Structure 1
């Protein structure tokens, strides 16, 4: 257990900020000496050198290093029947290319050359989020867009959360981009105090520091990472405020998203993303007049599902890590009296799943981490791409 003295109560992303009197010995919280290189001249060299970097700098959780490396390393999927186009996918804050382990194969099956990159500071140890600056994330996305552009006749940009901010900003700059695929786009944080994170990082090292036990992503969040995310949101909001975006755009959003302001995102979609072929999948109960928006109810009591979370939209119900009875269960911090504090000890059919904060306190609750409409979502995405890839 860390011996910390609370210095500030400034909730960014609804978490308590605290500073520690002394740094823990856990290597997860000691940064690497530098960021991994990401400006290689070709993608295959990038893959090889990143694998080597991860092997040398990652703090591993298990004895099976290959499984962990496969989860967090960048990857490429070459289609059996190429359609001549490519898709570049960018993950979110604290995440890894594992965010696309279910989506990317589906896209490759449609004929797209799919490349998934690793944002600098990710995939190694939580403290490495102290290292990147905004320009590192912008540069890696722009560089790999150019590399992919040399291999295909047209590029779609896809992003989850922070990655959606980065690819949307690049799409405004690159008129040849065919369109956007945005999953839980983090255009605006849900917590208004997030705007102070670029200042808080000078006084506080960690927004949240907790045990690291999920090899697909970080549990802890360094304040520099939170601040850099906020900078990506400010940049993309400036682009959206200044001009409409008229290229085809596909979006997936959770109404109950506990991390981002999904209402802001859906409003911007209706007002500023003007292409008539656009499509937004809304996971919640609100019905919208915009005919480009399809609503999927998340009031699913027979499945013990109450709402969709920020992370759940991109994962299949069959994902071995994040399915209902998968390797990872993201328990709410407080459980009913008399129940185990660790809800993973409770049978999965007795747990209610939702975005953090939803549900009754009398229920054993965990954060939902899969999309019960995943197959329908991929069908919608495939039809969207087929209609707009000429």
Structure 2
């Protein structure tokens, strides 16, 4: 058993840390440029999300152009299999996070977002842990009136997808409380706090919101997707990200915990307190700039900052190999001895939608359109 765990942990560590960019841990700094105004991106995200879902519906239906579509649970399984292969996590960053950050994805709209150089961040000034102080930071966007790091969109759409599919497993038999505990364990792990020194409660909130987002595809009183009179999938209502975003996605509203070292020395505590003080200073500085700058000065700064195009691949080549080895070793150790982290890692390390897992899927009943519109849909999770 111990041999199998060691081999299993080694394979996952190789996958998560050995692939360029996949072991990312995006953090964000919502304090430094809080005075820069941003247009709300909710409509742009909703429009793109609606297009992506419709594309997956069309691809799923096309599988059955010469045959009758299968029963509800298998059809849902096929839909999410196609969804995963098309739109979930572009190697390192979620598709939405990457396209928002780069503003260079073909066919995607232009988002107003704030990119930051790591050297500008509170983490760099606080001489914080290696990744958040020296490498990629998630862009800051405004969605549904809430400013947040674009990494929250990844947690919502990507991490939420993995947790949702875990909760759909009959064998695992997870409920939402289990998923919350696994999400907390993962956030405290070598894929979160132990890597960056930052525990983000906002990330956990976004993960759980993502589970509800995917539940609403086929479940609830008003599911997004149902079946028409011919048995094919049809989009019944457009997705609205504002149903899932809350002010808890903003790390200024739901503060992080900062742990510079797992060894709780006086120096580590002082480093954490120092970072919190720097964050408070940045908040005050941002408020002061908002009052000090006249309209023209603010417009000039805003135009300059929003025009930034900072590559998101810097740390893939610059990350010191010795640190990478240390993190992989720590990951393997935690995987072997922390059962909650092991369960969460398996959720992300393996595909729950691979062929053969259909029989493990909890059954669902989809809502019909044009047959009995009053019949409720049921998603057994």
User: What's the TM-score bracket when you normalise by the shorter of the two chains?
Assistant: under 0.3
Q: Which has the higher contact order (CA 8 A, sep 6+)?
A: 2
Q: What TM-score do you get using the length of structure 2 for normalisation?
A: 0.26
Q: Which has the larger radius of gyration?
A: 2
Q: Which has the higher strand share?
A: 1
Greater share of residues in helix: 2
Tell me the TM-score normalized by structure 1. Answer: 0.26
